[in-house]
Amino acid sequence: MLQAFVRDVHAGRAGLIRAARRAYLLGLVALALPGVVLGGLLVLVRPLSAPLPAVLLLVVLSVALSLVALRMAHTAAKNTELPARQAALTAAIQAATAPGVPVLLACALLSEGLAAGLFVVLAVGMHALVWWQLPGWVREPEG
């Protein structure tokens, strides 16, 4: 897997897009994995349910944090002081936070089906947005 990643990083713009998507997915998994373990433990413990206003506040906070993460990733990708490869991979890893925040909140509220489902839908939407935007963030690599 590492050899394919290195090969993609050095295979022009198309390869760099593949490498950035791999880096994004690895970043997302690294962010979400502890949350899934925590969520599983919380399901076993059966915590008290969260009140609806608190869930709605968490949704607003999740959307805001995800949009800030997307903005920061976009800024990193467009940083012309960085080489194209570094900018693309930095942006991809930062972009993993956009769906990662709602995934973590879904895990924290896993014992509450509707709230967890709401965050999963938000995470899927953020993931689709990042996946669609990521190729536009990748510049042609230098020499």
Domains in the chain: boundaries: 2-137
CA–chain centroid gap for 137, Å, is 15
Query: Could you tell me the pLDDT band of residue 70, with boundaries at 50, 70 and 90?
Result: very high
AA identity, residue 67 = L
Nearest to 103 by CA among 49, 27, 50: 27
Do 91 and 137 contact (CB within 8 A), yes or no? yes
User: What is the mean predicted confidence (pLDDT) over 28-38?
Assistant: 90
**pLDDT computed for residue 143 by the predictor:** 67
User: What is the mean predicted confidence (pLDDT) over 40-47?
Assistant: 80
User: What is the mean predicted confidence (pLDDT) over 107-125?
Assistant: 89
Taking every pair of Cα atoms in the chain, the longest distance, rounded to a whole number of angstroms, is: 58
State the average pLDDT for the chain: 89
User: What is the mean predicted confidence (pLDDT) over 103-117?
Assistant: 87
Residue 11, classed as helix, strand or coil, is coil
Q: What's this model's pTM, rounded to 2 decimal places?
A: 0.86
Do 59 and 118 contact (CB within 8 A), yes or no? yes
**pLDDT computed for residue 1 by the predictor:** 65
Exposure b/e, 111-143, CB count within 10 A at least 16 = b: bbeebbebbbebbeebbebbeebbeebbbebee
User: What is the mean predicted confidence (pLDDT) over 78-92?
Assistant: 91
User: What is the mean predicted confidence (pLDDT) over 6-32?
Assistant: 86
